[in-house]
Structure 1
Amino acid sequence: MAPAAVAPLFQPLQLGPLTLRNRVFMSALTRNRSVPTNVPNALNVEYYQQRAKSAGLIVTEGVLITQQGSEWPHAPGIWNKEQVAGWKKVIDAVHKEGSVIFAQLWHLGRISHPDAPEQKAAGVPVYAPSALSARGGKFRFLPGEPGYVTPTPIEDPTILLDLFEKAAVNAKEAGFDGVELHGANGYLVHQFLDTTSNIRTDSWGGSVANRAKFGLLTLQRLIKVFGKDRVGIKLSPAGGYNDMGMPLEETLETFSYFISEADKLGIAYIDLMRYAEVLDPVFDGKKRATKHDVVASYAHLMKHAKVFSNAGWTGEEAAAAVKDGKVEGVFFGMGWISHPDFAARLEHGKPVDTPIDFTTLYGVKDSTSEEEQRKGYADYPAAEY
Structure 2
Amino acid sequence: MSTAFEPLAAGSLRLRNRIVMAPMTRSRADGTLPTSDTATYYAQRAGAGLIVTEGIQPSAVGQGYPSTPGLHTAEQVEAWGAVTRAVHAAGGTVVAQLMHTGRIGHPANTEAAGHGALTPVGPSAVRARGQIFTPTGLQDHVDPDELTEDQIAGTIGDFAAAARLAITAGFDGVEIHGANGYLLHQFLATNANLRTDDWGGSPANRIRFTLEVARAVAGAIGADRTGIRLSPANGLGDTVEDHVALYPLLVAELDTLGLAYLHLVEAGDPSMTPVLRRAWSGTLILNPAHAGLADHPTRVGLVADGTADAVSFARLFISNPDLVTRLAAGAPLAEPDLGKAYGGDHRGYTDYPTLAAQPVA
Question: Deviation of residue 381 (structure 1)?
Answer: 0.5
Matched, 1:244 2:239: yes
Contact 1:68-1:118 within 8 A present in 2 as well: no
Task: Out of 60-69 and 159-168, give the one that drifted further.
Answer: 60-69
Matched, 1:97 2:87: no
Question: Aligned residue for 2:287?
Answer: 310
Aligned to 1:61, which of 43, 47, 54? 54
Question: Aligned residue for 1:267?
Answer: 259
How many pairs were matched up? Answer: 350
Pairs within 5 Å for 1:1-385: 8-35=3-30, 37-52=31-46, 54-68=47-61, 70-116=63-109, 117-118=111-112, 121-122=115-116, 124-143=118-137, 145-156=138-149, 157-246=152-241, 250-275=242-267, 291-303=269-281, 305-313=282-290, 314=295, 316-352=297-333, 354-364=334-344, 373-384=345-356
Summarize deviations over 1:36-95 as a string: whole Å, max 9, x none.
x2111111011011001x110000000011124745311111110111011111111111
CA 1:340–1:378: 2 relative to 1, 3 Å:
same
Contact 2:106-2:134 within 8 A present in 1 as well: no
- Provide the rounded CA distance (Å) in 1 between the counterparts of 2:7 and 2:48: 12
- Provide the rounded CA distance (Å) in 2 between the counterparts of 1:74 and 1:375: 16
Summarize deviations over 1:205-248 as a string: whole Å, max 9, x none.
111111111110101111112111110000000222111122xx
- Provide the rounded CA distance (Å) in 2 between the counterparts of 1:166 and 1:120: 21
Contact 1:272-1:294 within 8 A present in 2 as well: no
- Provide the rounded CA distance (Å) in 1 between the counterparts of 2:220 and 2:51: 20
Contact 1:26-1:336 within 8 A present in 2 as well: yes
| Percent identity of paired positions between Structure 1 and Structure 2 | 38
Question: Deviation of residue 201 (structure 1)?
Answer: 0.4
- Provide the rounded CA distance (Å) in 2 between the counterparts of 1:211 and 1:171: 27
Question: Deviation of residue 140 (structure 1)?
Answer: 3.7
Contact 1:84-1:170 within 8 A present in 2 as well: yes
For 1:139, what is the secondary structure of its paired residue?
Answer: strand
- Provide the rounded CA distance (Å) in 2 between the counterparts of 1:167 and 1:91: 15
- Provide the rounded CA distance (Å) in 2 between the counterparts of 1:274 and 1:310: 6
- Provide the rounded CA distance (Å) in 2 between the counterparts of 1:42 and 1:274: 33
Task: Provide the aligned C-alpha RMSD in A.
Answer: 1.9
Question: Deviation of residue 317 (structure 1)?
Answer: 2.9
Q: Match for 1:56: what amino acid? A: G
In structure 1, runs of 5+ residues without a counterpart are 1-6, 276-289, 365-372
Q: Match for 2:44: what amino acid? A: Q
Contact 1:312-1:332 within 8 A present in 2 as well: no
Summarize deviations over 1:77-131 as a string: whole Å, max 9, x none.
1110111011111111111111110100010100011233258725643110001
CA 1:109–1:71: 2 relative to 1, 3 Å:
closer
Task: Out of 111-120 and 18-27, give the one that drifted further.
Answer: 111-120
Q: Match for 1:57: what amino acid? A: L
Summarize deviations over 1:232-265 as a string: whole Å, max 9, x none.
000000222111122xxx2111111111100111
In structure 2, runs of 5+ residues without a counterpart are none
- Provide the rounded CA distance (Å) in 1 between the counterparts of 2:246 and 2:89: 41
Question: Deviation of residue 133 (structure 1)?
Answer: 1.0
Contact 1:235-1:270 within 8 A present in 2 as well: yes
Q: Match for 1:134: what amino acid? A: A
After the TM superposition, which parts of structure 1 deviate over 6 Å for at least 4 consecutive aligned residues? none
- Provide the rounded CA distance (Å) in 2 between the counterparts of 1:268 and 1:198: 28
TM-score by length of 2: 0.92
Task: Out of 318-327 and 180-189, give the one that drifted further.
Answer: 318-327
